[in-house]
Structure 1
């Protein structure tokens, strides 16, 4: 994900009910720092040049962590979120050789449904 996508990514996050954001880590400067440390593990999805999905993940050197996954509400149920998660898992496994951990925010019901996890 290039930092120039940040404005569209932030608007996407705001469109997703239950998205857990904070003013420091999820600010443009916070995301820029995150992308510098994790240049190969953050992806966006676009259709006809319009951003419709994003996944942000990073590593501590041993494991990968998925922090934010979002798909625009009007683009859900099309496999975008699943494709982003698969791309992320492949990036960690193939490029870095380790697994991924995610701590779901269970109030984000659409993410729980996408991951097919019962709460």
Structure 2
């Protein structure tokens, strides 16, 4: 497996992975244009894992607002789950955030995504209670 920074050239394969990942929520914010803008704004923070055959095995979008880091679309192809790819992608993202002086990272999991909840709890992430997410379209 090869881990490297995610680039705009990875978009089509990444979107295909996200579409086929149970529990992954996609929206207009996941268009090519939006993801490329995210990658450009957060250079060097998002990562992919490439399988030996050259296909995309996993993704992790990572960014920060100067104070807190955020992970999005951490996904591993079902053929490679349980091999440590998810952990590897997350570790690389957290390393990059620390290098930029970011000490805390957050993520969101859709409530019905039991697989995602088990993964994050299993690698030591803390479920936060008492926080409600509000959204507003601009």
Correspondence list, 1:1-119, <5 A: 1-23=6-28, 25-48=29-52, 49-93=54-98, 95-98=99-102, 99-116=104-121
Offset at 1:103? Answer: 2.4
Q: Which has the higher helix share?
A: 1
Task: Give distance in 2, aligned partners of 1:106 and 1:87.
Answer: 26
Say how many residue pairs are matched: 117
Contact 2:23 2:116 survives alignment (8 Å) = no
TM-score, length basis structure 1: 0.91
Task: Give distance in 1, aligned partners of 2:84 and 2:111.
Answer: 20
TM-score, length basis structure 2: 0.79
Give every structure 1 segment of 4 or more consecutive aligned residues whose post-TM-superposition deviation is greater than 4 Å.
none
